[in-house]
Amino acid sequence: MRLINYVGDRRLVLPLILMVVGIEFMRSGVGTFSVIHGSSMCPTFKPNDFVQAKTLYGESQRGDVVIITDNQNERAIKRIIGLPGETVTLYRGFVYVDCQRLNEPYLPKYTCTFKSSPEDERAIRWRLKANQYFLMGDNRSESCDSRNYGPVERH
């Protein structure tokens, strides 16, 4: 009787291993799926939109949309604005990277970007280190992003 139970248990091992390998393959090949909460990326992503996220091992580019984990282990979706080694400046409602005004075709026309108050005319500047990125949400008036918490590390 013991032998039958053992053989039965052994028959479960292979499907269990295949299931674990299959789940890992799906995560790495297909990625993960998330539901958007909040409006920081409107109009690109709206609340309750589904997104598929996949780990890419190449270099990230300006304009890429990324999912980050914040200090409270919450995930947020943002767009890469500044790359390692660059200087990002906010001045009079526009974003400048290394003194060149940034073209942002993904934003609605007449979108302004400010650090705090639009009446504040001072330029605000961030110099990114070799492993830092500057991220912003597309809905600039509703996004908590690098303007609030500063540049983020690549990891």
Candidates 34, 78, 109, 143; catalytic one:
78
pLDDT at 3 over 90: no
* Residue 40 among the catalytic residues: yes
**What average pLDDT does this structure show over 46-66?**
84
Q: Tokens at residue 41, please?
A: 């990326």
Answer yes or no: is pLDDT of 60 > 90. no
Task: List the catalytic residue out of 28, 34, 39, 40.
Answer: 40
78 is catalytic: yes
Query: Taking 60 as the threshold, does the pLDDT of residue 127 lie above it?
Result: yes
Residue bearing the bigger pLDDT, 25 or 64: 64
pLDDT-above-70 percentage for the chain: 77
pLDDT for residue 1: 43
Rg of the chain over all Cα atoms, to the nearest angstrom? 22
Peptide bond into 84 cis (omega under 30): no
Q: Are 136 and 78 spatial neighbours (Cβ–Cβ below 8 Å)?
A: yes
Query: Which tops the pLDDT comparison, 8 or 55?
Result: 55
Res. 9: pLDDT tops 60: no
Q: Which residue has the higher pLDDT, 115 or 82?
A: 82
